[in-house]
Amino acid sequence: MMDIQNKTVLLTGASRGIGFFIAKTLAQKGAIVIGVARSEDGLNQTKSEVEKVGGVFHSLPFDIKNINGLSELVEKAKAINGEIDILVNNAGIELYNEYQNYTADDVSDVLNINLHAPMELTRLILPTMLERGGHIVSVASLAGKKGVAYNTPYSASKGGLIMWTDGMRQELKDTKVNISVICPGYISDAGMFYDGHVDPPALLGSSKPQDVADAVVKAITQNKAEIIVNKGPIKPLLAIGQISPVFGDTVVRKFGVPELSKKRIKK
């Protein structure tokens, strides 16, 4: 359990979407937020909104796809405000396609940005964090709990993030570092799903980006292992999917999930 006040947060994906809400919420709780993304303009927009509510935000433009360059990112972040107390792995991309039509680069981009970068940032930050204490939060997805057709590299990356966190939590037990994963369903108002301009399946509904930001705060302050952010009660359905994956397929088909994903393939 950790107090957020005066803590240094390294937050990826801070230039727009859900990351903007996470930045603002953590800064309002007194954190010094170092926001990472490729878009300097987007980061500076977040900075000005955070400063309007009296928060502190530093822009750190960086492409996290460059896994071998991440040590440079960590050094740059440390040069801003010292050691990192909280790492929030929020940056992510999704690319819809029939699997055989992805390029090898498409698949590795999704895996690098969504999975390898969070793992590598953690690997780099962990030695100091183990001495000083800290918290790592990753934003995964319900797509990592049940595979999503036509978005399978994304599902693989998010499933990997959930299972990596699961193993790390056990490994970090009895240390000063805690680790959490957030699994949002469809998010309205901002972010990658909203930007796709399709309605969520009626039976699943959508949550707000602020709900994800609040879940990040709850994960840190109450040391939650995993938080699902979704309108309806999804846990029994996920449990059914574990017992019978094929029955789970029927349920998501009834909800219209594969149909919706197919619509999102860019022609």
Minimum distance, C-beta of residue 59 to ligand NAP, in the bound complex (Å): 11
Q: In 3-state terms, what secondary structure has residue 78?
A: helix
DSSP 227: E
DSSP-derived 3-state class of residue 110: helix
Burial of 95 (0-12, 13-18, 19+ CB in 10 A): middle
CA dihedral over 232, 155, 193, 258, signed as positive or negative: negative
Q: How many residues bind ligand NAP (CB under 6 A)?
A: 29
Contacts of ligand NAP in 166-205 (CB under 6 A): 184, 186-187, 191-193
Strands (E), the chain: 8-12, 32-37, 56-61, 86-89, 134-139, 177-184, 226-229
Contact region with ligand NAP (CB under 6 A), list: 57-65, 67-75, 121-129, 173-181: 57-65
Looking at the Cβ atoms of 33 and 139, the one nearer to ligand NAP is: 139
Minimum CB separation of residue 63 from ligand NAP in Å reads 5
Q: Which is nearer to ligand NAP, 191 or 248 (by Cβ)?
A: 191
Residues acting as catalytic residues: 154
Residue 162: alpha-carbon gap to chain centroid: 10
For the chain, the distance separating the N- and C-terminal CA atoms, rounded to the nearest angstrom, is: 47
Q: What length is written for the chain?
A: 267
Tokens matching residue 123: 């690997």
CB of 5 to ligand NAP, least distance (A): 25
Q: Which is nearer to ligand NAP, 32 or 139 (CB)?
A: 139
Q: Note whether 42 binds ligand NAP by CB under 6 A.
A: yes
Compare residues 36 and 129 and give the one whose CB is closer to ligand NAP: 36
What gap in Å lies between CA 62 and CA 18, rounded to an integer?
18
List 8, 19, 50, 73, residue binding ligand NAP (CB under 6 A): 19
The footprint of ligand NAP on residues 73-102 (CB under 6 A) is: 90-93
Nearer of residues 10 and 36 to ligand NAP, judged by Cβ:
36
Per CB under 6 A, residues contacting ligand NAP are 12-19, 36-39, 42, 63-65, 90-93, 113, 139, 141, 184, 186-187, 191-193
